[in-house]
Structure 1
Amino acid sequence: MSDHSHMKRELPAHPTQSVDPPIDAGRPGIAAGVTRPGLVLAFLSIAQFMVFLDVSIVNVALPSIAEALGIHEVNLPYVVTLYGTVLGGCLLFGSRLADMFGRRRMLQVGLAVFGAASLAAGIAQDQSLLFVARGLQGLGSAMIAPAALSTLTTTFVGGKERAKALGVWGALTGIASVAGVTLGGVLSDGPGWRWIFFINVPIALAAVLLAPRVLPESRGPRQRFDTFGAVLLTGGLLTLLYALEEAISHGWTDVVVLVCLGVAAALLAGFVVVERRAAAPLVPFAVFAIRTLRYANLATLFLLGTVVTVFFFASMFLQQVLGYSPLQTGLAYVPLALVVAVGAGLASGLVAKVPGKIVLVVGLVLVVTALVLLARMPSSASYLTGVLPVFLLTGIGMGLSFVPLQIAAQVGVPEERAGLAAGLINTSQEVGGALGVAVAATYAFRRVDELTAAAGGHPALIAAARTTVFHDGFAAGAGFALAALLVALVLLPTIPKHDGPIAA
């Protein structure tokens, strides 16, 4: 659901360092040597579509996966969170790798890793292999996404041409995030849940082989690698995730949980120290002196925690409480996907007429309202009168919120930091989604064993127990949305009117 289309490459502080291709006088706005820019755009869009399709495609298949591999409900969030955490934790590092070793080359490496990990996930016979494969998918995606967007921005170098290309890019990547839930339902009900992973393999293989024939090669400014910083950030996030998941089963006072929380805090604190001292940090913390950027990222963190939590728990609520099939569940999301696009379109027009903060606040109020309604939805709810209205409210609120947050993340950012700012907002999206699900699941599943045991195998009582669990998950999502609203109201400065294209 998140709009991942706004991650730019980081622009060099000194333009003479860049080896990006110059504008070809024979093709205005297109880099020299590029003869088929439309094919380049199609190739990059497909690669990006795969990356963000896999953020959401697993949600509808979760009950099928759990049944096939014997995964306990409390461990199911790992299927979602491992992908998002590794992707978010490695995005900025992936951008540096692409600049150093070549964008096309790193795109090929990322596609190869992603394809191999998808194959491993598809053939997994136990949860351990599936979890490792999902993490490796995230690593591959963290190499694909920044390399693909950097290639796009160095191919379409004229303002008009770049705006058009980014418009196509943004539309496709936005669609991918919401189309995943529908496609996940179609595949799960058809050839089976394993095909949500297998479908990536031939596409990734073809892309690896075709890349040299389609894409130009380019590099960015050479800088030192902050490998240690990347390891500390990703390690800290993964350890925090593990602590949250363990807290579901063992409680917050468990020794393992407390140790993991301490280790996570130490790793993340170490990341801050390393970044402040590194010659070429992944995250120059001086950029957070810009107040609008700082709080736009914080609000985005909470909002995406809400978005991914909705997908996670709604998919299970529809199937395990309302009795929908995977296909019916996937199709149930179609109106939500459509109104997200409608909301984003409305927001793009409104931000040119009124301050973006007003649009954002309205959007977040709608999201909070929708989550409160989901947290109170009865187990007998019909689709037309119960689920659909709430989904429409959710989608329009999300669409209205995404656009002003993207604008706010760039307000006051100097040209040489524009790529960093865009990378940070995308990192906030991925990390927020992963941590949001983990925290919501920790809260919602804390009583799952107790409630299931109390049901004594009675179908009606089991359905009631599941309803209670999922209501708690939606309540946690409402808390995240409320936190985003409070940040927007109290901390976020006014977002000025924006009359330019809403692009990277």
Structure 2
Amino acid sequence: MVSLSCLFLTYGLIEGQHFKWSMYIVGILIISVVIFIIFYVQQKLRQKRDPLIPFALFEDRNYTLMNVVGVFFSIGVLGLMLLLSIYFQSILGYDAFRAGLTLVPASLISMCVSPFAGKFSNKIDGKYLVLAGLALTLIGMIWVFFIMNGHNYWVQFMLSMVITGFGNGLLISPMAAVAVKEVKDEVAGAASGVMNTVRQLGTVGGSAAVGALLQNRISAMNHGSEFESVFDISTKFGGHLSGYLTALRESLLLPMAAIALACIACAFVRKNAKRLSTNEVK
């Protein structure tokens, strides 16, 4: 049911601009909300008999906050990658392969840093590692915002990708560790599954929201004219790209705001939490 709700939500956000946010799109979004409410009520009624999502998990402050951080982090990072892919292909004229290669350093750095961050989370309070990772990610995004001028070479994005990748790698493992540190052993599996699902929902919903915002801004810059795809900007509008570059930069503010909100949520996480064992609970 959550997947179905997410499907309607994503479709509504992506196609909203095309249908000029008509009642058809409003109806799709309402259906998404209704399906989610039905799922919530169904799970509420099953709390005493093997629920899919134990709501008691969210009584743990750190677990709840780390889920919030995970959602905003997913929105921020996926939104950044989406906008950069469009920028490289539509503004700079890269093909998909070259655009992908330009983004590779972020993934490589993240992959290399993540194992060490997991080890350090046992020595340093994970909250601070997550905060540091979010801060670095935000710095990398701000860097991209200011160098996105339509006349870049791929090498100019290397440092921002390295900073962003380092930030991502620094926070992923500690974020999970902080989230489940106080969770009871008997629901640890459910806690991990719920957190991963919430992050995936943030990824899907966030990328759809960023895409919808970009379509809206491009349409506004083009005085409401329709376009087939944001990837066709350069071919359809020729050299008049300043307005569409502005639309991309304005859309980047949404992922940046998401990371900033993740930082705020992380600031309220309790320090030095101790994991509760089954015996301690009893």
The 2-side partners of 1:476 and 1:333 are apart by 19
Letter in 1 for 2:246: T
The 1:262–1:330 alpha-carbon spacing in structure 2 relative to 1, beyond 3 Å, is closer
Letter in 1 for 2:32: A
| 1:256 counterpart = 2:27 | no
The partner residue of 1:242 within 4, 11, 14 is: 11
Alignment partner of 1:269: what SS?
helix
The 1:251–1:369 alpha-carbon spacing in structure 2 relative to 1, beyond 3 Å, is farther
The 2-side partners of 1:495 and 1:324 are apart by 47
Alignment partner of 1:333: what SS?
helix
Deviation at 1:488, TM superposition (A): 0.5
Alignment partner of 2:271: what SS?
coil
| Post-superposition CA distance 1:367-426 (Å, at most 9, x none) | 112222223321112222x21111111101111111111102211111211110110111
Asked whether the 8 Å contact 1:408–1:495 carries over to 2, the reply is no
Deviation at 1:326, TM superposition (A): 2.3
**Root-mean-square deviation (Å):** 2.3
Deviation at 1:327, TM superposition (A): 2.4
The 1-side partners of 2:222 and 2:118 are apart by 46
| 1:312 counterpart = 2:91 | no
The 2-side partners of 1:402 and 1:380 are apart by 33
Deviation at 1:436, TM superposition (A): 0.6
The partner residue of 1:382 within 153, 157, 178 is: 153
The 1:370–1:487 alpha-carbon spacing in structure 2 relative to 1, beyond 3 Å, is same
Alignment partner of 2:124: what SS?
coil
Deviation at 1:238, TM superposition (A): 1.7
Asked whether the 8 Å contact 1:275–1:281 carries over to 2, the reply is yes
Structure 1 unaligned spans of 5+? 1-230, 499-504
The 2-side partners of 1:342 and 1:478 are apart by 24
| 1:464 counterpart = 2:242 | yes
Report how many aligned residue pairs link the two structures: 263
The 2-side partners of 1:362 and 1:309 are apart by 20
Letter in 2 for 1:244: L
Letter in 1 for 2:78: V
| 1:295 counterpart = 2:62 | no
The 1:247–1:458 alpha-carbon spacing in structure 2 relative to 1, beyond 3 Å, is closer
The 2-side partners of 1:495 and 1:305 are apart by 27
| 1:493 counterpart = 2:278 | no
The partner residue of 1:413 within 160, 172, 183 is: 183
Which has the bigger relative contact order, CA under 8 A and spacing at least 6?
2
Letter in 2 for 1:429: R
Structure 1 segment 26-65 matched on structure 2, within 5 A = none
Alignment partner of 1:396: what SS?
helix
Q: Partner residue of 2:229? A: none
Structure 1 segment 36-185 matched on structure 2, within 5 A = none
| 1:321 counterpart = 2:70 | no
| Post-superposition CA distance 1:55-94 (Å, at most 9, x none) | xxxxxxxxxxxxxxxxxxxxxxxxxxxxxxxxxxxxxxxx
Q: Partner residue of 1:196? A: none
Q: Partner residue of 2:228? A: none
* Greater gyration radius: 1
The 1:333–1:245 alpha-carbon spacing in structure 2 relative to 1, beyond 3 Å, is closer
The 1:420–1:387 alpha-carbon spacing in structure 2 relative to 1, beyond 3 Å, is same
Structure 2 unaligned spans of 5+? 226-232, 276-282
Asked whether the 8 Å contact 1:309–1:436 carries over to 2, the reply is yes
Q: Which ranges of 4 or more aligned residues in structure 1 deviate by more than 4 Å?
A: 452-458, 495-498
The partner residue of 2:44 within 276, 291, 308 is: 276
The 2-side partners of 1:409 and 1:482 are apart by 19
Q: Partner residue of 1:182? A: none
The 2-side partners of 1:458 and 1:409 are apart by 47
Letter in 1 for 2:202: G
Identity within the alignment, %: 22
Asked whether the 8 Å contact 2:182–2:273 carries over to 1, the reply is no
TM-score by length of 2: 0.85
The 2-side partners of 1:286 and 1:494 are apart by 21
Letter in 1 for 2:151: S
Asked whether the 8 Å contact 1:374–1:474 carries over to 2, the reply is no
TM-score by length of 1: 0.49
Alignment partner of 1:379: what SS?
coil
